[in-house]
Structure 1
Amino acid sequence: MNAPIQKASFNRMQELMSTSPVPSISTELLATADGELNRELNAFLFDPPSNTSLLKGKKIAICCTNGVEEVEILGAQRWLSEHGATVHVVSPRIGDFHPTLGLRFPPLTKTHVLAIRLMENAGWLKIDCYTDEAKAENYDAVILPGGCWNPDALRMDDHAKAFVTAMHAKGKPTCAICHGQWVLVSADLLKGKKATAVWNIQVDLKNAGATVLDEPCVVDGNLITARFPYDLPRMVKALTEQLLK
């Protein structure tokens, strides 16, 4: 690899992560480890787009809230955008909470979601559409990224569940990765389906009636699921194949 390419890859890497003082998922370590899926992730994150108009005219929702895993949302958002798709971050509104709950949200959460790297706070991502506004007819696919906190909160949002349910019912690619499948569990979309998820919640999928496969990406009709950040390229590939049918 020549010096200009190395520098470009390093700069792009730094856009996806920063030094961590707490337990975290390092995009750098994840994308440079010597494993087949790691190498696929490296190419997915850092190779130039093969066709910048591949997904032109397609509109994709990434449905999430605070605590979304950074590499999963940024990796998907950038690859899809760089291949011509319009990508929206779709999130619930931060409403008012009863004072007995002791919850406090900074003003920025009204317009942005906070990404994380396992247990480390990362960057703020702008919300493009709220779940109470999102309509299935306006999107061609939906992705539910992980991060433990994100889907655990999102699964409580009736608008998010209704949106994902409508996308699936219309036969549009409905994707979830890592812990994102919790939303599918709460939307009751997994009964009788083949699916996968991050290892520690595979039992939740089984309890929801799914046949669980420990594979990088499982496709059952328009339901597409993956386990871990390094499975992201295979999930997006399956999504893209369905969009181009």
Structure 2
Amino acid sequence: MTKTINGANILILASDGFEYSELTEPRDRLIELGANVTLAAPSTDPITGESGGETKGEITPDTTLDTPDAEDYDALLLPGGQRNPDNLRMKEDAIALIKAFADQGKPIAAICHAPWLLVEADLLRGRTATSWPSLRTDLRNAGANVVDREVAVDGNIITSRNPDDIPAFTQALVDAIETADQTAEAA
């Protein structure tokens, strides 16, 4: 049987300074598999991505952070970039959304610097996680068991280290959505 996430609703949270590949590559793969993807940001003005600290591409968000309801989505994707998660962790609406996904047990995938958002939402205590190397002390201080591997999956929390990990990261998110869907169908 070919795996598909056809019809799944995925929410992405991002702001200026997102790592371009960490948003666009998973998004494009999810869309290719039939998912509906919504991008939420602090405003609907275009946000600018980065790659290696250099500006790379703009994307226009679909909605603002205060609009989405976690109940309407099957999973949450949090791209990295240094500035992006640092900006978002100061936004109450972003943290409230992340907590709502966690409360509902839905998959939350955070790559590179995005696990900072999981720290801010207090979701890593007792969990296994990975991230960009400079965040690992923050993750440990937040109670995480920190590992250095391309993807760490602990329950509904999926983390990865950097753009090189995007294929494994994206596949782990797809697998988590399919597992959650099969569990819901069996209930």
Alpha carbons of structure 1 residues 111 and 91: separation in structure 2 relative to 1, 3 Å: same
- Please give the secondary structure, in 1, of the residue aligned with 2:167: helix
Gaps of 5+ in 2: 180-187
Return the alpha-carbon distance in structure 1 between the equivalents of residues 165 and 84 of structure 2. Answer: 19
Tell me the CA shift for residue 118 of structure 1: 2.3
The one-character-per-residue Cα deviations of 1:5-45 (angstroms, maximum 9, x if unpaired) are xxxxxxxxxxxxxxxxxxxxxxxxxxxxxxxxxxxxxxxxx
Q: For 1:115 and 1:73, how far apart are their aligned partners in 2?
A: 9
Paired with 2:141 and 2:163, the residues of 1 have a C-alpha distance of 23
- Show structure 1 runs of 5+ residues with no match: 1-50, 94-109
Q: Superposition pairs for residues 215-226 of structure 1, below 5 Å? A: 215-226=149-160
Correspondence for 1:236: 170
Structure 1 counterpart of 2:95: 161
2 CA distance for matches of 1:230 and 1:184? Answer: 21
Q: CA deviation at 1:203?
A: 0.8
In terms of fraction of residues, the more strand-rich structure is 2
Q: Give me the whole-angstrom Cα distance separating, in 2, the residues matched to 1:214 and 1:176.
A: 15
Matched, 1:203 2:125: no
Q: Which residue of 2 aligns with 1:75?
A: 25
TM norm structure 2: 0.92
RMSD, matched Cα: 1.5
User: What residue in structure 2 maps to residue 90 of structure 1?
Assistant: 40
Structure 2 residue identity aligned to 1:122: K
Q: What pairs with 1:57-72 in structure 2 (closer than 5 Å)?
A: 57-72=7-22
Distance between the aligned counterparts of 1:242 and 1:120, measured in 2?
Answer: 32
Relative distance call for 1:195 and 1:53 in structure 2 (3 A) is closer
Aligned amino acid, residue 179 of structure 1: H
Runs of 4+ in 1 over 6 A off after TM superposition: none
Q: CA deviation at 1:180?
A: 0.4
For the residues of structure 1 that align with 2:2 and 2:53, how far apart are their CA atoms? 34
Aligned: 1:125 with 2:75? no
Per the alignment, residue 185 of structure 2 pairs with none
Question: What does residue 14 of structure 1 align with?
Answer: none
Q: For each residue in 1:77-115, what CA deviation from the matched residue of structure 2 results, as whole angstroms up to 9, or x when unmatched?
A: 11111111011111113xxxxxxxxxxxxxxxx422111
Q: Which whole-Å CA distance do the structure 2 matches of 1:64 and 1:196 have between them?
A: 20
The percent identity for this pair of structures is 40
Shift of 1:185: 0.8
Asked which structure has the greater CA Rg, the reply is: 1
Give TM-score scaled by structure 1 length: 0.70
